[in-house]
Amino acid sequence: MNGGDPARGDPASVPEIVRRLALYVRMNPLAGDTKEGITQWWLNLDPSFIEPVASALARLQAAELIDAVGAVDGRVRYRRRAPGSATDALLDRLIAGFTVPNE
């Protein structure tokens, strides 16, 4: 399994993926990609971890931090919602280890 900080726990657990995604979009506010691209390029995880990534993305969508946008090619791309201090504050809380509710 690739990626993650061993001190943080299982790098492929949904709460850890949520934390890592929050950090990524906080540092890269204009980034956008598919589940597959996020798994491989943003998180450096094996493609077999697509399901926990999908669950983490769903939680971030429910928290109104991530948007899912359909593209002309039929694929869904995920990106951070518009920047703002409230969004930044919630992302910072997630990075610090607070959790978002299940989907």
**Tens-digit pLDDT profile for residues 51-77:** 999 999 999 999 999 999 999 999 999
Instruction: Give the C-alpha separation, 100 to 20, whole Å.
Output: 13
Instruction: Give a yes or no: residue 103 inside a domain.
Output: no
**Tens-digit pLDDT profile for residues 1-20:** 344 444 455 767 999 999 99
Instruction: Give a yes or no: residue 102 inside a domain.
Output: no
Q: Among 79, 101, 100, 98, which residue's Cα sits nearest to residue 26?
A: 79
Please count the structural domains in the chain. Answer: 1
pTM of the model: 0.84
Instruction: Give a yes or no: residue 100 inside a domain.
Output: no
Residues 94 and 52: beta-carbon distance below 8 Å: no
Q: Looking at residue 97, what is its pLDDT?
A: 86
Residue 43 is part of which domain span?
6-95
Instruction: Give a yes or no: residue 65 inside a domain.
Output: yes
Say which CATH number the domain at 58 has: 1.10.10.10
Instruction: Give a yes or no: residue 77 inside a domain.
Output: yes
Instruction: Give a yes or no: residue 90 inside a domain.
Output: yes
Instruction: Give a yes or no: residue 47 inside a domain.
Output: yes
